[in-house]
């Protein structure tokens, strides 16, 4: 486990100051719209991978359109904000940090619901597209790479903790 910790820290240093600045600048520009963007983010996930709805108990038997599901928006906003805040903190903290839940909890939850690598890839794509659409005038290959790197760090940290709760 110590090697994993060391490798995770080394990889985090892969986020350059320039990348950090791009992530922070774009997040500061969009965070006031996190409610709307969080919902767009999740709708994008379900457009790409409709079967992902099965991972959410509150969507399984719901006939309500996604935009009107009373539980989807709060969940989507929480995930979107947590992901973006984690990205913004990466370099400062030197590792993935979360405010609302622990990586252990997130790992256990993702494990319990059967999340697999493909789900992380779909989520990454949806996140990048959501941010791209939110800041079209700022978007660049460099910003895309910065967000991709930050997301990869978070996904890797969650995957390390994906095991049955002990």
Domain definitions of the chain by residue range: 2-160
Burial class (CB in 10 A: 0-12, 13-18, 19+), 51: exposed
| Euclidean distance between CA atoms 128 and 143, whole angstroms | 9
How high is the pLDDT of residue 100? 56
Burial class (CB in 10 A: 0-12, 13-18, 19+), 143: buried
CATH for the 2-160 domain, from 1.10.3720.10, 3.40.50.1980, 1.10.490.10, 1.20.1250.20: 1.10.490.10
Q: Within a 10 A sphere around the Cβ of 96, how many other Cβ atoms?
A: 21
How high is the pLDDT of residue 10? 36
132-156 pLDDT, tens digit per residue, is 999 999 999 999 999 999 999 888 8
83-102 pLDDT, tens digit per residue, is 888 888 887 777 777 665 67
What average pLDDT does this structure show over 5-19?
Answer: 59
Query: Is 4 or 38 the better-scoring residue by pLDDT?
Result: 38
Contact 111, 162 (CB under 8 A): yes
How high is the pLDDT of residue 165? 64
Q: Is the pLDDT of residue 77 over 50?
A: yes
Task: Grade residue 5 by pLDDT with cuts at 50, 70 and 90.
Answer: very low
pTM, full prediction: 0.83
Q: Is the pLDDT of residue 7 over 50?
A: no
CA nearest to 156, candidates 95, 113, 101: 95
Q: Is the pLDDT of residue 2 over 90?
A: no
| Euclidean distance between CA atoms 53 and 60, whole angstroms | 6
Percentage of the chain beyond pLDDT 90 is 44
**For tokens 């600048």, what's the residue?**
25
Query: Is 14 or 162 the better-scoring residue by pLDDT?
Result: 162
* Alpha helices, H only, the chain: 2-12, 17-30, 34-48, 57-60, 72-93, 103-112, 117-134, 141-160
| Token pair belonging to 11 | 């990889």
């Amino acid at each position: 486990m110590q090697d994993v910790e060391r490798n995770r820290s080394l990889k985090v240093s892969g986020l350059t100051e320039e990348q950090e600045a791009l992530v922070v600048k774009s997040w500061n520009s969009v965070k006031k719209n996190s409610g709307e963007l969080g919902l767009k983010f999740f709708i994008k996930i379900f457009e790409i991978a409709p079967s992902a709805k099965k991972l959410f108990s509150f969507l399984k038997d719901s006939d309500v359109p996604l935009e009107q599901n009373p539980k989807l928006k709060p969940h989507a906003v929480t995930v979107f904000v947590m992901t973006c805040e984690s990205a913004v903190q990466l370099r400062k903290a030197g590792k993935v940090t979360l405010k609302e839940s622990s990586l252990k909890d997130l790992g256990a939850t993702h494990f319990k619901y059967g999340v697999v690598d493909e789900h992380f890839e779909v989520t990454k794509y949806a996140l990048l597209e959501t941010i791209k659409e939110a800041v079209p005038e700022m978007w660049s290959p460099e910003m895309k790479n910065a967000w991709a790197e930050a997301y990869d760090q978070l996904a890797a940290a969650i995957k390390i903790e994906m095991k049955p709760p002990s």
